[in-house]
């Protein structure tokens, strides 16, 4: 005899497992057992199959893989005896699932057993089918189950009814076959059959409208009678629970009545009396009675009940709510939530009690109560409720603070009558739970603050005070640091003091102290530190006397290991040190953040600014699609992502970004652009950009650089912005822009170079660049400069010998659509270090379907050949069926070295 | 569907019986058991017997060293589920006579048979203890 095949007894295995002291020991025992079971299986051991499967079930329960036992289940099911079948079916239900192919094999055994003469075997098969039936099996075996529904034996009937539930869930089309048999089940006396039949009817109502109508017509009176019988029945020992006969049947039939009475006045009318009787007569001193009352209230709330009945139901809930048993209070809160839709006034009456539940020691009750309170808030009670909740926030558990703070914030946001109140409440929340609120909350707060100029002084002073006590609350610190940076001067001069406010005297150095503490205390929080650096930069201009101290702090951060911080401190330091003349304009107060854009973005819709709409009005390709050929279709919303708020649509910017292109394209393209404004200014531009993107150092920002400084100049000198255009759009392809990057080939990465500060380079001009000039290469690959669904442009390059800076481009345009294009016009614009000469096109008609192409040659002279790569914006205008069409894009995939 | 799973767990958090009425992989089951056992076992006597977990509720009740945890849909009547747990315990009590953890461990299949008679596909099918036990007693007599 094989030493493995006999194995240990089940009992011994369980003992061995229980004796294990560590998980590793347990694993070892299980592994050994599994090995012997496998051996037994492979030997086709008949005697111990039963025992092995029992062992496998235990091992399965412990959470070990047991798939190898699945075939054993099938063999046991196929056996003739009841004990084998029984354990086989149990194993099948536990070890298998409907996803596995093994199920295919079991269908036949099931069919045989469903037709077996022994009622217990039929019961086993029904039970298994009810638990594991798949859609295919449902199709195959539905007729058997339908037949069994009509058999006299109640034990088979009830199981067949539940099996039918599974079948109609898997194949809802079969629902109507079961309507008739289901309705007749309700006429039975056996409780098991009734419960199963009622559940089948309830499920049929959910599965098919036709069945719902049929059952409403035929079963409303029957279900009322069942409820009447069971609630008035004499003592029945077998079904009695605490003096109530079969609470399960009560609950199931109430649930069916809920389905039948919903939105049906006649059926509801018919139920009124019995519901009133159950609601008044059921004992509420035991759990079973309360379970029935609870279900009864739910049914009353769900159907078209009379107002008297509803009052009764609300009163039961009121009683529940004041019950000392937490379970009862929990279900009361749960139910009140549904009752709000029916009668919110009645629920409002219990507000005080519900508010007490928010402060309960039980987390489940607190959570329910908080959700309920949230639904109860309206304009009239909002102030007092918020006050209560905020007071509780102070003392609540740490793990509840997040939920509570989130709810308070949304209440405050939703109902705030005025900005002052909003800011006050938010400051309170942030001071208490600043570490628990989501980023959107403080982002939104900053937007609101920015939009309330009359409160700037008050807010910054309040924040300053709050920081003294709650400097650990991250979000509070961020908002405070932002406001101090923006409105720090109001802190000193006490600008805009409100009536209720106590004035404080703050010295400039105190303000710097606070920001420095924020910078140092939150050492692991890059966002807060980055925001602190920006605030310091701004303060250096607001408080010139502290400039030196700020510079010292900046210098300390120069060595930061976080690239973002290192870069900021180096850049800012250089602004403070060398560029006093532009500093004040660079650190000007942020323009008012646009609330609607922010809300839009928050709502998840794409932030379409006015400017971008203007630009996209005729573009055929969708917004912000970056085509693979490197053309950055510049229809993407030219948004500055500031604080990740997207509220950057400063009114002035709109006009500039929108008209920008027109200015550009409107000018004589062949004329070299004039020398433009000082480079330093455009350097400053992007630094401001950087300031704006404060909150999100690691998030790629879709940036088109609009800014205050350039704006003023744009109006008079649009040409000068040409280089910025290329700059910004390149920047959008290299998400975390470095100024340096934008001017180089995008593939060139900035090396953190302690010797040469990149910003200084930029601010001082474009000359010092470590990119080595490349010697002219004889041939350049042609590129696909632009491709949309309707149009393709390819560029071929050639160089004249001896003139490395001149590139001649042969542009070929192909029409991919099925319509001819007329009045075809190609225009291009280049940064100012490049000169562009456009020859006339070969034709202004572009035939459809790529039959024939238009060519045009361009000559580009790169005055900074070897230092800067070519870049070009282009615009295509043409008519399709006499309709004007415009496409535009940026070409940034020029081969290097041109 | 109503009932999603029935779990019996001892004070140490070891599973003693697990019956799922929806398919979960082994890993999902282990994770789920770990999560809810941790949640439920740390609660005190005074706290309510309902814990919200993911998108369903766990109704639990403690009997001596054993916790009965039943996962149900959100719309299920929680108080009725408590009643169901009690019925299950009473049924096992009647069969084993003062049921304890070891009875269930060593007669796992019997506990499963009882549950099978009570619940099918997540729905309660029988509420009479003698009806539930009838087939089991018949088997015992035959054996």
Q: Which of A158-172, A421-435, A580-594 has the lowest average pLDDT?
A: A580-594
Nearest-CA distance A365 → chain B (Å):
8
CB contact under 8 A, A131 and B120: yes
In angstroms, what separates the C-alpha of A474 from chain B's closest C-alpha?
A: 28
- Asked if B52's CB is within 8 angstroms of A327's CB, the reply is no
**∠ at Cα A773 (A768, A774), nearest 5°?**
160
Asked if A305 and A276 touch (Cβ cutoff 8 Å), the reply is no
A599: Cβ contacts below 8 Å, ≥ 6 apart: none
Q: Is A162 on the interface with B (CB under 8 A)?
A: yes
pLDDT at residue B54, as a whole number: 82
Contact A99 B120 (CB under 8 A): no
| Integer Cα distance of A770 and A290 in angstroms | 81
Chain B neighbors of A82, CB-CB under 8 A: 139, 142
Cβ pair B79:A120 closer than 8 A: no
Does residue A69 lie within any of the structural domains?
yes
Residue A789's pLDDT is 77
Q: Can you give the pLDDT at residue A593? A: 83
Token pair 């509780």 is found at A392
ipTM over 0.90: yes
Condensed to tens digits (0 to 9), the pLDDT of residues A836-849 reads 888 888 888 888 88
Interatomic CA distance for residues A433 and A402, integer angstroms: 7
Q: Is A452 among the domain residues?
A: no
Average pLDDT over residues A503-519: 86
Identify the residue among A63, A193, A200, A320 best suited for mutation to test binding to B, counting B beta carbons within 10 A and taking the highest. Answer: A63
- pLDDT tens-digit map of A670-725: 333 333 333 333 444 444 444 444 444 443 333 333 443 333 444 434 333 334 43
Asked which of A91-105, A136-150, A189-203, B122-136 is least confident by mean pLDDT, the reply is A91-105
Is A120 part of the contact surface with chain B (CB cutoff 8 Å)? yes
How many angstroms separate the CA of residue A186 from the nearest CA in chain B?
14
Which residues in chain B have their CB less than 8 angstroms from residue A191's CB? 126-128
Measured between alpha carbons, how far is A295 from A316 in angstroms, rounded to an integer?
11
Does residue A762 have a pLDDT over 90? Answer: no
Is residue A106 in a domain? Answer: no
Cβ pair A195:B125 closer than 8 A: yes
Tokens coding A691: 């300031």
- Which residues are CB-neighbours of A236 under 8 A, at least 6 positions away? A245, A246
Helix A419-433 to helix A439-450 angle (10° resolution) is 150
**Structure tokens belonging to residue A324:** 């000392």
Residue of B nearest to A128 (CA): B120
pLDDT, one tens digit per residue, over A9-64 is 888 888 888 888 888 999 999 999 898 888 888 887 777 777 888 888 889 888 88
Residue A805 belongs to a domain: yes
Q: Looking at the domain assignment, is residue A797 inside a domain? A: yes
Looking at chain A from residue 295 to 334, which residues have their Cβ under 8 Å from any Cβ of chain B?
295, 298, 326-331, 334
Full set of structural domains in chain B with CATH = 3-142 (3.30.450.60)
Chosen from B54, B80, B111, B139 to mutate, greatest number of chain A CBs within 10 A: B80
Contact across the interface for B48 and A99, Cβ inside 8 Å: no
In a domain, A809, yes or no: yes
Give the pLDDT confidence score for residue A633 in this predicted structure.
Answer: 38
Is A251 close to B77, i.e. CB distance below 8 A? Answer: yes
pLDDT exceeds cutoff 80 at A337? yes
Q: What is the pLDDT of residues A791-805, one digit of tens each?
A: 888 888 888 777 778
B129 chain-A contacts, CB cut-off 8 A: 238
Cβ atoms A718, A660 nearer than 8 A: yes
Candidates B83, B88, B111, B132, partner chain A, best to mutate (most A CBs within 10 A): B83
DSSP character at residue A503: P
* CA A103 to mean position of chain CA atoms: 38
**Which of A96, A123, A154 is where one domain is finished?**
A96
CB–CB of B83 and A287 under 8 A? yes
Q: Whole-angstrom Cα distance, residue A824 to residue A784?
A: 19
User: Is A266's Cβ below 8 Å from some Cβ in B?
Assistant: no
- C-alpha separations of A498 from A10, A454, A461 in Å: 81, 9, 11
Mutation for A interface: B57, B77, B82, B88, most A CBs within 10 A: B77
Which of A20, A156, A162 is the best substitution to test chain B (most B C-beta atoms within 10 A)? A162
Read off the CATH number of the domain in which A789 is found: 2.60.40.1230
Asked if B131 and A86 come within 8 Å (Cβ–Cβ), the reply is no
Query: What are the beta bridge partners of residue A313?
Result: none
pLDDT of residue A57: 87
pLDDT tens-place string over residues A586-632: 888 888 888 777 777 777 544 333 334 444 343 333 333 333 343 33
What's the confidence (pLDDT) of residue A379? 86
Cross-chain residue pair A14–B15, CB shorter than 8 Å: no
Q: What is the tally of structural domains in chain A?
A: 2
pLDDT of A438 higher than 80:
yes
A492 within some domain: no
Please report whether residue A445 resides in a domain: no
Range(s) of the domain holding residue A77 = 1-96
CA A93 to chain centre: 37
pLDDT for residue A100? 65
**Nearest residue on chain B to A67, alpha-carbon basis:** B26
Give the one of A120, A155, A364 whose C-beta lies nearest to B48's C-beta. A364
> What does each C-alpha distance from B80 to A248, A312, A606, B69 come to in angstroms?
7, 21, 48, 14
A891 touches chain B (CB under 8 A): no
Chain A environment of B125 (Cβ under 8 Å): 158-159, 162, 192, 195-196
Of B50, B116, B131, the CB nearest to A127: B116
Distance CA A106, CA A25 (A): 36
Out of A96, A115, A138, a domain closes at A96
Q: Of A39, A62, A96, at which residue does a domain stop?
A: A96
pLDDT (0 to 100) of residue A97: 61
Facing A365 at nearest CB: one of B48, B112, B127? B48
> Around Cβ A783, how many Cβ atoms within 10 Å?
19
CB within 8 Å of chain B, chain A residues 642-661: none
What is chain B's length? 143
CA A316 to CA A843: how far, in whole Å?
85
- Tally of CB atoms within 10 A around A36: 20
Instruction: Kindly tell me the burial class for residue A671, based on how many C-beta atoms sit within 10 Å of its own C-beta (0-12, 13-18, 19 or more).
Output: exposed
Neighboring chain A residues of B112 at a CB cutoff of 8 Å: 57, 90, 94
B74 pLDDT higher than 60: yes
End-to-end Cα separation, chain A, in angstroms: 85
Length of chain A: 898
A847 CB-near residues (< 8 Å, 6+ apart): A815, A820
Shortest CA gap B8–chain A (Å): 10
Whether the per-residue pLDDT at A462 is higher than 80: the answer is yes
CA nearest to B50 within chain A: A364
Interface of A with B in 167-196 (CB under 8 A): 169, 191-192, 195-196
The winner for highest mean pLDDT among A287-296, A571-580, A737-746, A782-791 is A287-296
Alpha helix segments (H runs only) across A43-118: 49-61, 70-78, 82-95, 102-114
Q: Which of B120, B131, B139, B141 to mutate to test the interface with A (most CBs of A within 10 A)?
A: B120
Residues of A in contact with B142 (CB under 8 A): 82-83
CB-facing half-sphere around the CA of A884: CA atoms within 13 A? 5
* Rounded-to-integer distance, Cα A867 and Cα A342, Å: 73
A363 at B interface, C-beta within 8 A? yes
Contact yes or no for B18 and A326 at CB 8 A: no
Q: What is the C-alpha to C-alpha distance for residues A302 and A398, in angstroms, rounded to an integer?
A: 37
Task: Determine, for residues A191 and B19 on separate chains, whether the beta-carbon distance falls below 8 Å.
Answer: no
Tell me what pLDDT residue A544 has.
84
Q: Which A residues 365-404 touch B at CB under 8 Å?
A: 365, 367
CB contact under 8 Å between B113 and A86, yes or no, is: yes
């Amino acid at each position: 005899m094989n030493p493995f095949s006999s194995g240990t007894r089940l009992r011994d295995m369980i003992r061995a497992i229980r004796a294990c002291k560590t998980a590793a020991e347990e694993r070892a025992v299980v592994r050994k057992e599994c090995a012997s079971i496998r051996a037994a299986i492979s030997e086709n051991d008949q005697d111990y199959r039963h025992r092995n499967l029992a062992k496998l079930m235990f091992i399965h329960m412990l959470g070990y893989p047991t798939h190898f036992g699945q075939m054993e289940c099938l063999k046991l099911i196929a056996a003739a005896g009841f004990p084998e079948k029984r354990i086989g079916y149990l194993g099948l239900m536990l070890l298998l699932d409907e996803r596995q192919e093994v199920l295919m094999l079991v269908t036949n055994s099931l069919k045989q057993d469903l037709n077996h003469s022994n009622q217990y075997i039929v019961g086993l098969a029904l039970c298994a089918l009810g638990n594991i039936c798949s859609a295919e099996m449902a199709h195959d075996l539905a007729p058997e189950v339908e037949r069994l529904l009509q058999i006299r034996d109640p034990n088979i009937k009830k199981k067949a009814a539940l099996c039918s539930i599974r079948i109609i869930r898997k194949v809802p089309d079969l629902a109507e076959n079961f309507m008739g048999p289901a309705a007749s089940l309700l006429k039975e006396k056996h409780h098991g059959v009734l419960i199963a039949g009622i559940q089948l009817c309830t499920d049929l109502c959910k599965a098919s409208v036709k069945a719902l109508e049929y059952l409403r017509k035929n079963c409303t009176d029957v279900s009322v009678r069942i409820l009447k019988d069971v609630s008035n029945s004499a003592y029945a020992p077998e079904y009695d629970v605490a003096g109530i006969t079969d609470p399960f049947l009560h609950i199931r039939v109430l649930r069916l009545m809920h389905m039948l009475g919903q939105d049906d006045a006649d059926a509801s009318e018919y139920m009124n009396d019995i519901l009133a009787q159950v609601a008044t007569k059921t004992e509420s001193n035991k759990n079973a009675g309360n379970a029935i009352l609870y279900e009864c209230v739910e049914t009353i709330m769900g159907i078209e009940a009379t107002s008297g009945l509803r009052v009764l139901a609300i009163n039961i809930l009121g009683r529940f709510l004041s019950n000392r048993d937490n379970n009862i209070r929990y279900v009361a809160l749960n139910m009140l939530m549904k009752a709000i839709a029916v009668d919110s006034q009645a629920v409002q009456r219990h507000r005080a009690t519900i508010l007490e539940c928010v402060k309960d020691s039980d987390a489940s009750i607190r959570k329910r109560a908080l959700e309920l309170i949230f639904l109860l808030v309206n304009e009239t009670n909002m102030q007092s409720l918020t006050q209560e909740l905020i007071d509780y926030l102070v003392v609540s558990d740490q793990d509840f603070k997040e939920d509570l703070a989130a709810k308070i914030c949304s209440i405050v946001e939703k109902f705030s009558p005025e900005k002052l109140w909003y800011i006050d409440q938010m400051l309170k929340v942030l001071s208490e739970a600043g570490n628990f609120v989501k980023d959107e909350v403080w982002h939104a707060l900053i937007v609101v603050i920015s939009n309330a100029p009359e409160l700037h002084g008050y807010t910054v002073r309040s924040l300053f005070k709050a920081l003294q006590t709650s400097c650990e609350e991250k979000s509070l610190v961020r908002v405070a640091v932002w406001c101090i940076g923006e409105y720090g001067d109001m802190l000193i001069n006490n600008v805009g003091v409100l009536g209720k406010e106590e004035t404080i005297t703050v010295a400039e150095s105190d303000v710097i102290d606070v920001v420095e503490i924020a910078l140092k205390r939150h050492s692991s929080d890059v966002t807060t530190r980055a925001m602190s650096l920006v605030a310091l930069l701004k303060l250096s201009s607001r408080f010139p006397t502290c400039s030196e101290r700020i510079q010292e702090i900046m210098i300390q951060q120069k060595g930061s290991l976080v690239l973002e911080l290192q870069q900021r401190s180096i850049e800012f330091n250089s602004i403070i040190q060398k560029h006093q003349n532009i500093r004040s304009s660079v650190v000007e107060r942020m323009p008012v953040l646009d609330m609607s854009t922010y809300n839009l973005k928050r709502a998840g819709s794409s932030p379409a600014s006015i400017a971008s709409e203007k630009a996209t009005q005729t573009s055929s390709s969708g917004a912000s699609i970056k085509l693979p050929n490197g053309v950055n279709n510049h229809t993407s919303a030219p948004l500055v992502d500031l604080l990740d708020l997207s509220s950057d649509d400063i009114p002035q910017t709109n006009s500039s970004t929108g008209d920008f292109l027109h200015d550009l394209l409107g000018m004589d393209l062949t004329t070299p652009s004039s020398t433009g404004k000082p480079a330093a200014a455009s350097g400053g531009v992007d630094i401001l950009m950087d300031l704006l993107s404060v909150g999100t150092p690691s998030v790629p920002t879709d940036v088109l650089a609009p800014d205050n400084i350039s704006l003023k100049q744009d109006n008079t000198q649009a040409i000068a912005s040409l280089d910025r255009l290329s700059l910004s759009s390149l920047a959008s392809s290299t998400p975390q822009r470095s100024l340096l990057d934008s001017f180089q080939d995008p593939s060139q990465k900035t090396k953190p170079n302690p010797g040469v500060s990149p910003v200084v380079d930029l601010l001082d001009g474009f000359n010092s660049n470590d990119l080595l000039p490349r010697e002219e290469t004889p041939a350049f690959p042609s590129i696909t400069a632009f491709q949309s669904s309707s149009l393709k442009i390819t560029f071929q390059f050639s160089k004249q010998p001896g003139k490395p800076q001149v590139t001649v481009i042969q542009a070929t345009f192909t029409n991919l659509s099925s319509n001819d294009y007329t009045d075809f016009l190609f225009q291009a614009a280049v940064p100012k270090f490049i000169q562009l000469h456009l020859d006339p096109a070969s034709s202004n008609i572009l035939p459809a379907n790529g039959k024939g192409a238009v060519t045009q040659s361009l000559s580009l002279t790169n005055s900074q050949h070897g230092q800067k790569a070519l870049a070009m914006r282009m615009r295509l205008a043409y008519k399709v069926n006499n309709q004007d069409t415009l496409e535009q894009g940026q070409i940034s995939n020029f081969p290097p070295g041109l | 569907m109503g009932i999603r799973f029935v779990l019996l767990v001892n004070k140490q958090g070891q599973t003693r019986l697990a019956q799922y009425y929806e398919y979960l992989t082994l890993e999902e089951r282990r994770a789920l058991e770990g999560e809810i056992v941790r949640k439920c076992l740390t609660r005190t006597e005074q706290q309510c017997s309902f814990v919200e977990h993911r998108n369903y509720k766990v109704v639990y009740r403690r009997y001596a060293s054993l916790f009965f945890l039943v996962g149900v849909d959100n719309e299920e009547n929680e108080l009725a589920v408590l009643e169901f747990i009690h019925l299950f315990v009473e049924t096992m009590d009647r069969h084993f006579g003062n049921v304890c953890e070891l009875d269930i461990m060593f007669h796992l299949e019997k506990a499963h048979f009882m549950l099978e008679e009570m619940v099918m596909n997540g729905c309660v099918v029988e509420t009479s203890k003698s009806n539930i036990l009838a087939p089991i007693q018949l088997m015992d007599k035959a054996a």
